[in-house]
Chain A
Amino acid sequence: MSLARSPLSRWALAAWAFAGLAAPPAVTAADWPCWRGPKRNGVSDETDWLDRWPAEGPPVAWKASVGTGYSSFAVAGGRVFTLGNTDHTDTVFCLDAETGKLLWSHAYPADLGDRFFAGGPTSTPTVDGDRVFTLGRWGDCFCFEAATGKVIWTKNVATETGIRVPGWGFSGSPLVHGDRLVLNVGEAGLALEKATGRRVWLSGNQEAGYSTPLPVPRGDGWDILLGSGKAYLAVDVATGKERWRIRWVTQYGCNAADPVVDGDRVFISTGYGKGGVLLRSGDGPEPEVIWRGKVLATQMSPSVLIDGHLYGADGDTGKQGPLKCVVFATGEERWAHPGFGTGAVTAAAGRLIALSERGELMVAPATPKGFAPTARAQVLGGQCWTVPVLAHGRLFCRNAEGDVVCLDVRKP
Chain B
Amino acid sequence: MATWNRRRVLAAGAAAAAWGAAPAVRAAHPARRYRTAVIGPGWWGRNILKEAIAAGRAQVVGLCDPDPNVVEVAADQVADLCGDTPKPYADFRELLEQSKPEVVIVASPDHWHALQTIAALKAGAHVYVEKPTGHTVRESRAMVKAAREAGRVVQVGLHRRVGPHHASAMRFLKEGGAGTVGMVRLFAHYGGGAERPAPNGDPPEGMDWDLYCGPAPKRPFNRRIHPGGFRQFLDFANGQLGDWGVHWLDQVMMWADGASPRRVYSTGGRPVRGAPVLTDREQTTDAPDHQVAVYEFDAFTCVWEHRQFAANQAEKHGIGAYFYGSKGTLHLGWRDGWTFYPANAKGGQVLHEDAQLQEPDGHNLKLLWADFLAAIDTGSAPAAGIERAHRSSVLPLLGMLSLKIGRSLRWDGEKEEIVGDPEANALLARPYRAPWTYPA
Interface residues of A (CB under 8 A from B): 88, 111-113, 115-116, 164-165, 167, 206-207, 229-230, 249-253, 273-274, 316, 318-319
A207 near B72 (CB under 8 angstroms)?
no
Centre residue among B73, B77, B224 by max chain A CB count within 10 A: B73
Tell me which of B196, B228, B359 contacts A112 (CB under 8 A).
B196
A111 near B76 (CB under 8 angstroms)?
no
Instruction: Classify the secondary structure of A's interface with B.
Output: loop
Q: Residue-by-residue, is B204-215 near A (CB-CB < 8 Å gives 1, otherwise 0)? A: 110000000000
Residue B83 interfacial (CB < 8 Å): no
A253 near B202 (CB under 8 angstroms)?
no
Distance, CA A164 to CA B205, complexed state (A): 9
Q: A111-B196, A115-B223, A249-B72 are in contact. Are A207 and B204 (CB under 8 A)?
A: yes
Expressed in whole angstroms, the minimum distance between the Cβ of A291 and any Cβ of chain B is 15
A115 near B224 (CB under 8 angstroms)?
yes
Expressed in whole angstroms, the minimum distance between the Cβ of A251 and any Cβ of chain B is 5
Complex interface: chain A residues within 8 A of B229 (CB):
115
Residue B53 interfacial (CB < 8 Å): no
Complex interface: chain B residues within 8 A of A249 (CB):
72-73, 76
Complex interface: chain A residues within 8 A of B205 (CB):
164, 206-207, 229
B227 near A252 (CB under 8 angstroms)?
yes
Interface residue ranges of B328-382 to A (CB < 8 Å): 359-360
B204 near A111 (CB under 8 angstroms)?
no
Residue B198 interfacial (CB < 8 Å): yes
Q: A116-B228, A207-B205, A250-B73 are in contact. Are A88 and B196 (CB under 8 A)?
A: yes
Residue B220 interfacial (CB < 8 Å): no
Distance, CA A156 to CA B79, complexed state (A): 40
- Sorted from nearest, which 10 A-B pairs have the closest CB atoms? A249-B76, A319-B360, A249-B72, A251-B73, A249-B73, A164-B202, A206-B205, A167-B223, A115-B223, A88-B196
Distance, CA A116 to CA B227, complexed state (A): 11
B201 near A165 (CB under 8 angstroms)?
yes
Distance, CA A24 to CA B199, complexed state (A): 40
Residue B19 interfacial (CB < 8 Å): no
Residue B44 interfacial (CB < 8 Å): no
Distance, CA A253 to CA B43, complexed state (A): 13
Complex interface: chain B residues within 8 A of A112 (CB):
196
Distance, CA A52 to CA B44, complexed state (A): 45
Complex interface: chain A residues within 8 A of B199 (CB):
111
Expressed in whole angstroms, the minimum distance between the Cβ of A309 and any Cβ of chain B is 25
Complex interface: chain A residues within 8 A of B359 (CB):
319
Complex interface: chain A residues within 8 A of B76 (CB):
249, 274
Interface residue ranges of B52-87 to A (CB < 8 Å): 69, 72-73, 76-77
Distance, CA A253 to CA B73, complexed state (A): 9
Complex interface: chain B residues within 8 A of A88 (CB):
196
Q: A112-B196, A115-B223, A164-B202 are in contact. Are A273 and B77 (CB under 8 A)?
A: yes
Complex interface: chain A residues within 8 A of B73 (CB):
249-252
Residue in A closest to B50 when the chains form the complex, CB atoms: A273
Expressed in whole angstroms, the minimum distance between the Cβ of B249 and any Cβ of chain A is 27
Expressed in whole angstroms, the minimum distance between the Cβ of B84 and any Cβ of chain A is 16
Expressed in whole angstroms, the minimum distance between the Cβ of A230 and any Cβ of chain B is 7
Expressed in whole angstroms, the minimum distance between the Cβ of B6 and any Cβ of chain A is 30
Complex interface: chain B residues within 8 A of A318 (CB):
360
Expressed in whole angstroms, the minimum distance between the Cβ of B273 and any Cβ of chain A is 13
